[in-house]
Amino acid sequence: MILPPATLGMLGGGQLGRFFVSAAHEMGYKVWVLDPDANSPAGLIADHHIVAAYDDYSALDELANGCAAVTTEFENVPASTLDYLVKFVPVHPSASAVAVCQNRVAEKTFLADNDLPHGPFAVIRHDENLRDADEALFPAVLKVARFGYDGKGQARVANRDEALHAFHQFGGESCVLEKMLKLDSEMSVVLARDEAGNVRCFPPGENSHRHGILDVTIMPARIEPVLAERAREVAQTIAERLDYVGTLGVEFFVCGGQLFVNEMAPRPHNSGHHTIDACVTSQYEQQVKALCGLPLGEPRAHSAAVMVNLLGELWYDADGNYREPDWSVLQAVPNLRVHLYAKHHARPGRKMGHFTVIGADASEVLATALQARAAIGIRDDAH
């Protein structure tokens, strides 16, 4: 076990890292953050912020020398960085697990090789792959294999010609062509797994998106219990097959009463933010516990919860002028907690914060959250 007041290392300085730092501090640990952004949200509250690139080996040496263990909040940290650090200090999750999750080709291949539920797909590396792709895959979504998230690096394509055009727009980067499924809903399971193989799953959350970015998470998800249990089983199997240690998020599509894995996130997940306010142990506390070899906490929800993301467009009026949102609107709502990330600059589509409403009655919690969402200015213009 790594016990307080040890120093932990975090690769990545975004809001997920910021919540990790807060959880670690409450548990008595110190945290060093490595992130190239001098204004990174996690770096602002860390005990030490190393402002450097993820492949700066002198900075990695400093991190390894100063920390008892290292984790990440950002799946696009190079796997080679994790491979380097593990020579000197414990690193969780492993480079091999992160490498699968950070590349859609590797991810889809992993799902297929392990007989885990996934939608029809084709790996696209050359124009010929698209010309040879099964016509039944269309309409589809073409996704770049690396660095695509929150709707970035994706294009909906109705046919082969549109797919070729999108592939060229992506610079011919390796892609995955995924058949567009008719969705009943979207959901996710966040879990924690320790080195001994113990797994603790949080209750599944139901997710809705705007413009490809998570908008609302409802917990518990409004699905049949048998489907919720199946989602937990699949997520646990993924963690076991990856020999994963840490907090893992698994996103699912629900189609015709069946589950299909959409993607895996080798870190805490946006849809797990509500665990801070609604569960006995948060996903960030679990990340600290798994990293340090502590017994995993109880993931049970003590309240129903609805989480709503606050994106950068809320910081601008109808004429495009910058202004702070009227937070008094949210602060007046009982059982609502606002979490702002202290990001340096607001821009449309950027996750700047979130709020969570909790309570005993799930339907009342949802109604309150949607009223607060509308009151702060989030429009249902498009999804």
* Residue 87 marked as a ligand binder: no
* Residue 153 marked as a ligand binder: yes
Give the burial class of 322: count Cβ atoms within 10 A of its Cβ; 0-12 exposed, 13-18 middle, 19 or more buried: exposed
Q: Which of 310, 303, 309, 313 is nearest to 334 (CA)?
A: 303
Q: Which of 76, 58, 103, 66 is nearest to 11 (CA)?
A: 76
- Written as one string, the DSSP assignment of 35-100 is -S-TT-HHHHHSSEEE---TT-HHHHHHHHHH-SEEEES-TTS-HHHHHHHTTTS-BSS-HHHHHH
* Residue 180 marked as a ligand binder: yes
Q: Which residues of 107-127 are buried (b: 16+ CB within 10 A; e: fewer)?
A: bbbbbeeeebebbebbbbeee
Q: Which of 265, 41, 57 is nearest to 150 (CA)?
A: 265
- Contact criterion met (CB below 8 Å) for 250 and 238: yes
* Residue 182 marked as a ligand binder: no
Beta strands 213-219; 199-201: pairing state: unpaired
Q: Which of 324, 329, 327, 349 is nearest to 339 (CA)?
A: 327
* Residue 262 marked as a ligand binder: yes
* Residue 92 marked as a ligand binder: no
* Residue 148 marked as a ligand binder: yes
**Alpha-carbon dihedral angle through residues 342, 150, 217, 140, given to the nearest 10 degrees:** 170
Rounded Cα gap, residues 33 and 29, in angstroms: 13
Residue 168 CB partners (closer than 8 Å, separation 6+):
none
* Residue 352 marked as a ligand binder: no
* Residue 197 marked as a ligand binder: no
* Residue 343 marked as a ligand binder: no
* Residue 154 marked as a ligand binder: yes
* Residue 359 marked as a ligand binder: no
* 3-class secondary structure, 280: coil
* Residue 249 marked as a ligand binder: no
CB atoms closer than 10 angstroms to residue 308: 23
Maximal CA-CA distance, the chain: 58
Residues in binding site for ATP: 104, 143, 148-154, 178-181, 186, 209, 262-263
Residues in binding site: 104, 143, 148-154, 178-181, 186, 209, 262-263
